[in-house]
A and B are shown apart, each in its own frame.
Chain A
């Protein structure tokens, strides 16, 4: 721990030095620019666009709302969108290209965990404040002490540990589970987290099949046969985007949802577009649902949701809310940085410094940034129901797990931390149905 503290102290001193040099070297606290330029990275093509486009639409709407209200610190926001479907190499190249413009002062990057991992070292090298608006791999802050990368969202460990806890709480008879996740860091991490959590809190549960189909798979028919043949009591999945839509559309007529308790970690994104049957465990990554009691009690969330519905003809999904939250987080930090510089326009380093350690009241809850720049965020999960006034599937028996109960401590191995949980831990968590 002492070693870790020393590294942090060293890094903080370094950050202060960078800030001082930036100010002394001409990038001094300056006049406000005519436009506040930001780069926004999301998927706007390919199978992942089903998830990425709601994020982009959320950004467009929130930026319009911010600009109509006077902009950030009185300066209108102008976003350049970058399509992550081009792959990590192209994404890094676009990031560097945008960063070359001194008027670009914040990046919202990225959606994909792989791209966040690839961009973090670049952000540190350039000194560009970067908000990981969606990616939630816990590996992002595991090894490196990042100074310019911030995540005001949840991460994979609390998210998927929560789903495992919810599953064994509402369905204590589960003994055999199968996993079907996408074949990259996000999917494999989730598989490890679910297995580690279940081994600790429900050691009698056996994993009978583990499938990791390629991201962008159009047909899951063989995987569905395999899952069906394994006869699991429950099937966990963190498929997302078009993969999730394909899987649900193909698995439902083949009886998979009747045969097993299905857990769709990103199920909230398809509540309006698909007819999920009752009783599917579905949720989101973190707390970002527009229809939670917390969100409905926030007038700004209601205004945003109504405006989104009017503009795009559909309700926002949690990637939309994550993006909107990330933009509000950025606005708060920049305006605080302006206040800290007595009204002068802040540098990138000053903006990054203002992002550190924030407690941010988002549209859907609260995000508390820790020393490692990763946030503690609540986790919302529920069961699908078709008895809803909305005219589409919604969630019932909801729970809002407090983030601090699910978040591993800084510096340790999160998987090892999960193994320290016990079956009694479940009793300390709020009960399903306590948050309706």
Chain B
């Protein structure tokens, strides 16, 4: 019995790990900026493209292939540093205080622009940069061969969750973010520079999405359309958790990951819809998500 369950758990967690990075970024941005950023998936795919490009450059230049690992992190940091502040200060900043429809339209427009930019810059053919996967080798678990890189991803997702929790609860910047999330007006009245907090939170969200994309490149091809695919899954995770719930996103990612794996193993026809069926059931029972809370509307 255990022999049969172990692959389900490993596959479920490996699935969840990849979704987690992008979903937690989405939910973090929502909790601070109160914006559902439809363009969030594009940062995932741009992170993937940049990481793959740097990885391929490292190999073609004859550099040490182990440099491919720090390159994944550098790619995500680059994308966040270049795009986070720029987009938040221009397009996103303009939507603060506007209705949800405006925010969604603006970020959707941004998504379309970024998708086309990727086609222009990186072309339309798939890119593969799998050196980190090849370097780490494989392990046999429950009679099935897994990539050690998949196991590494699970560990990295857990470390990221712990790191985010420590950052928000135990650093000054994290506490400032918490204060803004709790009450923006009071925070401003207390002298907190909310503009700066917004930019920081948005950039952190971009970094997490780009990191998810960068970490996905060694095990999957990078092609146009990746951003949309990821965004929809990330939204399902964020909705199940309750928008704005960082720890909840981790739990929801595991639920979605396991649901998808169970579908592939036992009801393959439901593979594509499994995450959304789970989302539907959760929202029917808990309209604000598993960890979401109702909020009073201030007039």
Chain A residues within 8 Å of B, Cβ to Cβ? 44-47, 49-50, 53, 183, 209-214, 216, 218-219, 221-223, 225-226, 228-229, 242, 245-246, 249-250, 253-255
Pick out which of these stretches binds chain A: B72-80, B119-127, B284-292.
B119-127
User: A49-B223, A253-B133 known; 20 other A-B pairs, CB under 8 Å?
Assistant: A46-B124, A50-B125, A53-B125, A210-B268, A212-B268, A216-B223, A218-B220, A218-B226, A219-B18, A222-B11, A222-B261, A225-B10, A226-B265, A228-B143, A228-B145, A229-B265, A246-B126, A249-B130, A249-B221, A253-B134
* B29-86 with Cβ < 8 A to chain A: none
Contacts of A44 in B (CB 8 A): 124
Contacts of B88 in A (CB 8 A): none
Assess whether B225 is in contact with A250, with CB atoms less than 8 Å apart. Answer: no
For the complex, give the distance between the alpha carbons of A245 and B129 in Å: 12
Which of A45, A209, A212 gathers the greatest number of chain B CB atoms within 10 Å?
Answer: A45
For the complex, give the distance between the alpha carbons of A222 and B260 in Å: 9
CB distance from A50 to the nearest CB of B (A): 6
Assess whether A250 is in contact with B224, with CB atoms less than 8 Å apart. Answer: no
Contacts of B14 in A (CB 8 A): 221-222
Contacts of A255 in B (CB 8 A): 138, 145
Assess whether B146 is in contact with A254, with CB atoms less than 8 Å apart. Answer: yes
Assess whether B220 is in contact with A219, with CB atoms less than 8 Å apart. Answer: yes
For the complex, give the distance between the alpha carbons of A90 and B84 in Å: 34
Contacts of A213 in B (CB 8 A): 271
Known A-B contacts A212-B268, A218-B229; the reply to A242 vs B138 at CB < 8 A is no
Determine whether B216 belongs to the interface, using a CB cutoff of 8 Å to chain A: yes
Which of A210, A222, A229, A253 gathers the greatest number of chain B CB atoms within 10 Å?
Answer: A222
CB distance from A182 to the nearest CB of B (A): 12
Assess whether A45 is in contact with B268, with CB atoms less than 8 Å apart. Answer: no
Determine whether B189 belongs to the interface, using a CB cutoff of 8 Å to chain A: no
For the complex, give the distance between the alpha carbons of A46 and B224 in Å: 5
Q: Which of A47, A222, A228, A249 contacts B128 (CB 8 A)?
A: A249
A-B contact pairs, 21 of them (CB 8 A): A45-B124, A46-B124, A46-B223, A46-B224, A50-B126, A209-B268, A211-B264, A212-B269, A213-B271, A218-B223, A218-B229, A219-B18, A219-B219, A222-B261, A228-B143, A229-B7, A229-B144, A229-B265, A242-B126, A254-B138, A255-B145
For the complex, give the distance between the alpha carbons of A45 and B216 in Å: 21
Determine whether B107 belongs to the interface, using a CB cutoff of 8 Å to chain A: no
Contacts of A250 in B (CB 8 A): 219-220
For the complex, give the distance between the alpha carbons of A222 and B14 in Å: 9
Assess whether B220 is in contact with A246, with CB atoms less than 8 Å apart. Answer: yes
For the complex, give the distance between the alpha carbons of A44 and B125 in Å: 9
For the complex, give the distance between the alpha carbons of A50 and B219 in Å: 18
Task: Name the CB-closest residue of B to A213.
Answer: B271
Determine whether B147 belongs to the interface, using a CB cutoff of 8 Å to chain A: yes
Determine whether B203 belongs to the interface, using a CB cutoff of 8 Å to chain A: no
Sorted from nearest, which 5 A-B pairs have the closest CB atoms? A45-B124, A242-B126, A218-B220, A219-B220, A255-B145
Assess whether A216 is in contact with B128, with CB atoms less than 8 Å apart. Answer: no
* B250-299 with Cβ < 8 A to chain A: 260-261, 264-265, 268-269, 271-272
For the complex, give the distance between the alpha carbons of A50 and B144 in Å: 30
For the complex, give the distance between the alpha carbons of A211 and B264 in Å: 7
CB distance from A34 to the nearest CB of B (A): 32
For the complex, give the distance between the alpha carbons of A50 and B223 in Å: 10
